Amino acid sequence: MKYSRFKLYRKERSQRGATALESVMAVTILFLIVFAMLQVYKWCVTEQICQYSAFYASKSLALGFEPELSLRAARVAGIAMSGRSVGAGENDEYAAENYMVYGDGSGVRYEYWHQSSASGSPSLHVYGKYTDDDVVALVRMENDQLLNKSFSSLFSISRNPVPSSRVYTNNYAKTLLEE
């Protein structure tokens, strides 16, 4: 009788090891899926902020504001993806207002503003121009590390995505001034 109990105990013990291994594998796959979703979420939010910022630049150019002021509005709309505050102080609302009024002379700076993309660090680029009947605004976040390098290599992604947005708007200022 004792022998059969010992044999039964031994069998259960080996099954517990298999269950632990299966659990570790399942949790690993679950973590991979969760962190992949977080990476995609970060990219989507950056893309949305680019869209919002380009919309503001396009809208202010279409309404006849000076191009420099319009690009300031786009930069302020993109503060959420501009990195840490270098010279803005602690209150982002006050810094945004100050930057809109005084421009670069206000002392408001964020980490990713006015950087060259050649340095390899993230930089926020804002462009706006008038075409024949339209206004075009482009906002682009270059060199932002959206995907973790180990995640990218796991899925054979060689280049990081570059979130950008281009918005075309009717040039309302030109239409109103012609009448």
By three-state DSSP, how is residue 133 classified? coil
Average pLDDT over residues 148-169: 77
pLDDT tens-digit series, residues 6-26? 555 555 555 556 788 888 999
pLDDT tens-digit series, residues 94-135? 888 888 888 888 888 888 887 665 667 788 888 888 877 888
Residue with tokens 């180990």: 150
pLDDT tens-digit series, residues 28-70? 999 989 988 888 888 889 899 999 999 999 988 888 888 888 8
Distance of CA 150 to CAs 127, 139, 176, Å? 33, 28, 54
How are strands ordered across the β-sheet holding 164-170? 123-130, 134-142, 164-170
Q: What is the pLDDT of residue 7?
A: 57
CB distance 113 to 82 below 8 Å = yes
Name the residue range of residue 163's domain. 2-178
By three-state DSSP, how is residue 73 classified? helix
CA distance 20 to 123: 46
How many structural domains comprise the chain? Answer: 1
Cα angle 163, 113, 59 (rounded to 5 degrees) comes to 65
By three-state DSSP, how is residue 164 classified? strand
At residue 153 the predicted structure's pLDDT band, cuts being 50, 70 and 90, is confident
